[in-house]
Amino acid sequence: MTSTAVRSPQRLPIDRPAPVTGSGIALRGVSKEYPLKRKTSLRALDGLDLEVAPGEFVALLGPSGCGKSTVLRLVAGLEEASAGAVDVEGRPPAQLAREHRLGVAFQEHALLPWASIRSNVALPFQVAGRPVDDRRVDDLLRLVGLGGFENARPKQLSGGMRQRAAIARALALDPDVLLLDEPFGALDAVTRRRMNAELARIWSEQQITTLLVTHDVDEAVLLADRIVVMTGRPGRVRYTCTVDIPRPRGADVTRTPEFHGLVDTLTAMLDSADETA
């Protein structure tokens, strides 16, 4: 990080690293190369270290193309690192994915269009070959504010409601870890703000280890315990800070100097990311 790249660097919040516990999420020295044509490759990540402590909510910010989604796919066990180690709960992510202990929600909600909201939320039970726990499904539908919409089809719901259903589905099997990749990226600003408040409420009730990829600085500050900012590609951790704003963080928080100070600092850092990549 260059001192000129960030406004008022002396005001940067002090980082308190996540405790090393052997559980939660840990990426150590992770690099990822994607093979391209004619024996060339693209280095998406380069020596990335990142920890999310059990029960912690970490938001990952960074310029477009810096490797945020790659990090999430590695933690979800959908891809393998080219170098370094990725552990979730002290084990390889693919193993946890096979045991259905990772809850994943991406920008595209990917609900089955022909199935009811209830069936969509219950789907992970079927995928895992387990009997559907109807009470759990009811509780989740209530948790995400979709009680009364069980029989609706996805297209009968608003974008925000569909994303809430996707989050309920991600939580269906009571996962150890929740992975969210721009879950509200396709929503308008007002709905997105409402969904941020909903996610904060859901998270405060579950306190599940969560890694959120977002390009929205306000969203990161509203939701996260810690924020990790990545460099431009190849992605590494550039900066980490603890969000010392007490919860619950309602709409009034967004009007405080603490909120604005942190948002400004992080925005300036993202604006200057390409200079330091």
Complex with ligand ADP: residue 52 or 165, whichever CB lies closer? 52
The Cα–Cα gap between 74 and 86 comes to 7
Complex with ligand ADP: residue 89 or 219, whichever CB lies closer? 219
Which has the closest alpha carbon to 178: 208, 148, 134? 208
Interface with ligand ADP (CB under 6 A), residue from 55, 65, 92, 185: 65
Interface with ligand ADP (CB under 6 A), residue from 67, 103, 175, 232: 67
Instruction: Show the site string, 213-242: x = touches ligand ADP by CB under 6 A, - = not.
Output: --------------------x---------
- Name, in order, each residue with C-beta under 8 angstroms of 7's C-beta and a sequence gap of 6 or more: 264, 265, 268
Instruction: Show the site string, 9-38: x = touches ligand ADP by CB under 6 A, - = not.
Output: -------------------------x----
Phi, psi of 109 (to 5 degrees): -65, -25
Interface with ligand ADP (CB under 6 A), residue from 6, 26, 30, 44: 44
Residue 70 near ligand ADP by CB under 6 A: yes
Residue 114 near ligand ADP by CB under 6 A: no
Output the CA–CA distances (angstroms, integers) from residue 222 to 5, 64, 137, 182, 228, in the order listed: 24, 21, 27, 14, 14
273, 62 Cβ separation under 8 angstroms: yes
Residue 60 near ligand ADP by CB under 6 A: no
Complex with ligand ADP: residue 125 or 184, whichever CB lies closer? 184
Residue 64 near ligand ADP by CB under 6 A: yes
Complex with ligand ADP: residue 70 or 272, whichever CB lies closer? 70
How many alpha carbons lie under 13 Å from residue 110 in its C-beta half-sphere? 12
Output the CA–CA distances (angstroms, integers) from residue 16 to 32, 139, 156, 203, 212, in the order listed: 27, 35, 45, 21, 19
What is the contact surface with ligand ADP in residues (CB under 6 A)?
Answer: 34, 42, 44, 62, 64-70, 233
